[in-house]
Amino acid sequence: MKRLFIRISLGIFLALVVSSVAASQLMRLTIDEQMHERMRGRIFGEVDMMQDYLDRAGEEGFAEAIVRVRRFSMAPVIVRRLGDPEIPPDVRAELRGHTPLHRPNDEGMTAYILINGGDKVVVIGPHRRPLPFDWRHLLLVLSVVLPVVGVAGYLLAYPFAKRLRTLEKAAQALREGDLSARAPIDSPDAVGSLAQQFNAMADKMQELLESQRHLMQAVAHELRTPIARIDFHLEMLRDAPDSAQREARAEDIESEIGELNDLVGELLVYSRFDVETGPLKKKSLPLPETAHEVVDRLRATRPEIEVLVRGDAEEVIAHETYFRRALQNLVANAKRYAKSQVVVEYERDDGGLRLSVVDDGPGIKEEDRQRIFEPFTRVDDSRSRESGGAGLGLAIVARILKSHGGTVRVADGGATGSRFVTFWPDR
Ligand code: ADP
C-alpha cells in the first residue's frame, strides 16, 4: 500500500519535473531569442541618441550632458581617452571611421562613442543579457508542487490499494484452505474485474473440490458392498464341505469381482468429464441412423420391449462417442423400467437438437428429478439394486451434456412413465 502510494507520487513528481524543465528550456530558446533581438534594437537607438546629444553639447557642455546621459542610460557610462589601455586596440582603430561602435562580450554588449572626432571616448555597457535560467526558481516552484503531488498521489492510490488489499486477503484465505473466501469488490475498474475473475475461479474451485469429495464418499460407499460380499463368500468358501460348493462360492466371488470391474469402468468414464480439456471435437452425426445403431446394440436386454425411433431432423452436432454413450445410457434405463415401449424422438429447436427418451414405466417422482443426475443416486433402492447398474449412468449423461453446452432434464412421460429431454446445441 505504502509502496504503491510512493510509486504513484514519485511518478507524478518526476513527470512534472521533467516536463517543467523541458518546457522552460524550450521557452528560453524561443522567448530569449526574441527578447534579445528587441533589447538590441533599444540599445542601438539609445546609443545613437547619446552620440547625437553628446556631440551637440560640445566641449563646454560635455560635463553636464554626461551627467544627464548617465541618468537615463540602462548600463554604466564611463568616459575614457582614446589612448587608454581599457579601450581594445581594434575598437580604437575602428572608432576613427565609425562611431558608435557595438561590441559583444561574455557579459552582453558594450557601446563605444567617439565625441566629435576628438580624443574622448564614452564607454556604455555592458548591457547585460536577460536573466539566465535560475535553479532557485525551479526549487521554489517544486516546494509548492511537491506537497500537492504527495496529497494527490495519496488520494489516487488509496482506493486502489484498499481494494487490492481486500483481494490479497481473500487469496490468502483461499490458499489457507477457506474455500468460501471471496473478494467483495464490485468497482468498475481493473481491480473490480480482477476480483470478479478471482471470485469466479474460487466458485469453480469450491464446486470441483466439493464434487470430488462427494464422489469419493459415494465411491467408498459403493465399493464397500461388493467387498463385504466377497468377504462373506470367502468365508463360505473356506467352510465349503465339497468341491461343488467350493465351485459355487468361487462363481459368486467372480460375479462380485465383475461388478467391481464394471463400477471401476463407469467411474473412469465419469471422471473423464471432470477435467475440461478444451473444446470438444464435435461433428455432424446422421439421424436417424446413429439413433438406430445405439438402439440395436441394446437389443439383447429385455427384447420384449419395443423401441421406436422417430423425428424430422437429419443431423445432430455432437462428439460421436459421447453422444452414443449418453443415448445408450438413457435408452438402457428406459428399457430397464419400461412396461412395454420406449420412444426415442427428436426435433430441431432453437439452434440445436431436442432429443427425448420416453418410457411407460413407473416414472420418477417430482422431488427426485434433480438428484437422479448425481452419482450413485437410486430413487427406489430395492427396485434399482436388482436391475440397475453402478448408479453412474445419468451422472455420465449430465456430464456429457454439460460438456456440450447442452441440458438434460426429466419431464412427465405422459400418463405414466418418464421422459428424459436432452438439448444438443449446434455450437
Ligand atoms: P443406475 O445405474 O442405478 O441405473 P442411473 O444413474 O442410470 O443409475 O439412474 C439413477 C436412478 O434413476 C436409477 O437407479 C433409477 O432409480 C432412476 N431412473 C433412471 N432412469 C429411469 C427411468 N427411465 N424410469 C424410472 N427411473 C429411472
Summarize pLDDT for 204-251 with one digit per residue, the tens: 999 888 878 888 888 888 888 889 999 999 999 999 899 999 999 999
Residue 387: pLDDT band (50, 70, 90) is: low
Q: Is the pLDDT of residue 335 over 90?
A: yes
Report pLDDT digits (tens) over 103-117. 887 777 899 999 988
Q: Indicate whether residue 388 lines ligand 1 (CB < 6 A).
A: yes
Q: Calculate how far, in angstroms, residue 312's C-alpha sits from the geometric centre of ligand 1.
A: 28
Exposure string over 111-134, b if 16+ CB within 10 A, otherwise e? bbbbbeeeebbbbbbbbeeeeeee
Residue 252, pLDDT score:
92
Residue 78 to residue 59: CA distance in whole angstroms: 17
Q: Are residues 7 and 116 in the same domain?
A: yes
Q: Could you tell me if the CB of 361 is within 6 A of ligand 1? A: yes
Pocket test for ligand 1, best of 333, 366, 419 (most atoms within 8 A of CB): 333
Q: Are 110 and 121 in contact (CB under 8 A)?
A: no
Residue minimizing CA distance to atom 1 of ligand 1? 391
Per-residue burial over 56-87, b if 16 or more Cβ lie within 10 Å, else e, is: ebeeeebeebbeebeeebebebebeebeeeeb
Give the separation between CA 198 and CA 171, rounded to whole angstroms.
8
Structure-block grid coordinates of residue 151: 496529497
How far is Cα 311 from Cα 346, in angstroms, rounded to an integer?
5
The Cβ of residue 288 has, within 10 Å, a number of other Cβ atoms equal to 16
Cα separation values, 226 from 230, 236, 255, 392, Å: 6, 15, 10, 16
Residues 104 and 213 placed together within one structural domain of the fold: no
Specify whether 223 is located in the same domain as 105.
no
Which atom of ligand 1 is nearest to 361's Cα? 24
Confidence of residue 133 (pLDDT cuts 50, 70, 90): low
**Identity of residue 239:** D
Closest CA to 51 of 140, 113, 117: 113
Going by alpha carbons, the residue nearest to atom 3 of ligand 1 is: 391
- C-alpha 358 – ligand 1 centre gap (Å): 13
Is the CB of 368 inside a 6 Å radius of any atom of ligand 1? no
Question: What is the domain range of residue 190?
Answer: 182-277
Domain termination site, one of 92, 108, 128: 128
Q: Are residues 227 and 267 in the same domain?
A: yes
Domain boundary pick from 222, 256, 277:
277
Which CATH number do you get for residue 323?
A: 3.30.565.10
Cα separation, 387 vs 379, in Å, equals 13
Question: Is 95 a member of any domain?
Answer: yes
